[in-house]
């Protein structure tokens, strides 16, 4: 039995919750595509006698989802149809991609270190990356932050650029190796 009043995740958030929207245009496109497929499937099912004509639509339409979103405080984190990107899109940018080329990656880390820019590397191959860093690690002044290496899995990294401080870098397996699937367990390429 379909619930008589469909709801979205937004309906379960506290009234004062702040909703972060990563890419509103992509979200709207995905919801519209899903809605189009659902309408087609529903009509085919009614025609074939699988569903009765009065069967309720078991999802929220794009306009209903957007109405629900507008009932909350929300921030657009990425680019949308507007000419100007949001403030978040301007301060968070993707990091460089190395595609498993570890020598250029280590050179990049050395440059960040030399410039005193904070960097965190989150990887499933952290022990190997630490070994490589130990081999190329420059002598550093006390005020220069060392790269932080953390064992873990994140889908992607970024560079946070604020005017009042040095850029902050987060690099993941996606940038270092080109891995997108965090469950994949490829062997690490040697230099």
Whether the Cβ atoms of residue 61 and residue 140 lie closer than 8 Å to each other: no
Best mean pLDDT range from 62-66, 105-109, 144-148, 156-160: 105-109
Least confident of 70-84, 117-131, 132-146: 70-84
Lookup result for tokens 């972060």: 20
Question: Is the model's pLDDT at 32 over the cut of 80?
Answer: yes
Whether the Cβ atoms of residue 17 and residue 72 lie closer than 8 Å to each other: yes
Domain residues of the chain, as ranges?
9-86, 94-176
Q: Which residues of 134-172 are buried (b: 16+ CB within 10 A; e: fewer)?
A: eeeeeeeeeeeeebebeeeebeebbbeeeeeeebbbbbb
Question: Is the model's pLDDT at 61 over the cut of 70?
Answer: yes
**Mean pLDDT value of segment 112-120:** 92
pLDDT in tens, 37-48: 888 888 899 899
pTM: 0.56
Model pLDDT, residue 103 = 94
Model pLDDT, residue 33 = 86
pLDDT band at 3 (very low <50, low <70, confident <90, very high): low
């Amino acid at each position: 039995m379909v619930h008589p009043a469909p709801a979205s995740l937004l309906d379960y958030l506290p009234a004062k919750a702040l909703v972060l929207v990563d890419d509103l245009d992509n979200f709207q496109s995905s919801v519209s595509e899903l809605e189009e497929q659902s309408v087609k499937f529903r009509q085919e099912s009614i025609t074939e006698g699988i569903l009765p004509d009065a069967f309720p639509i078991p999802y929220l339409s794009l306009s209903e989802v957007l109405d629900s979103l507008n009932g909350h405080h929300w921030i657009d984190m990425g680019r949308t149809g507007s000419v100007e990107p949001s403030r978040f899109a301007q301060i968070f940018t993707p990091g460089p991609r190395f595609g498993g080329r570890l020598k250029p990656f280590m050179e990049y880390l050395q440059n960040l270190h030399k410039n005193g820019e904070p960097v965190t590397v989150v990887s499933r191959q952290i022990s190997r990356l630490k070994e490589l860093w130990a081999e190329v690690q420059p002598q550093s002044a006390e005020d220069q932050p060392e790269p932080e290496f953390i064992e873990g899995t994140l889908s992607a990294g970024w560079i946070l650029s604020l005017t009042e401080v040095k850029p902050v870098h987060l690099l993941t397996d996606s940038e270092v190796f080109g891995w997108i699937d965090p469950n994949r367990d490829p062997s690490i390429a040697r230099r």
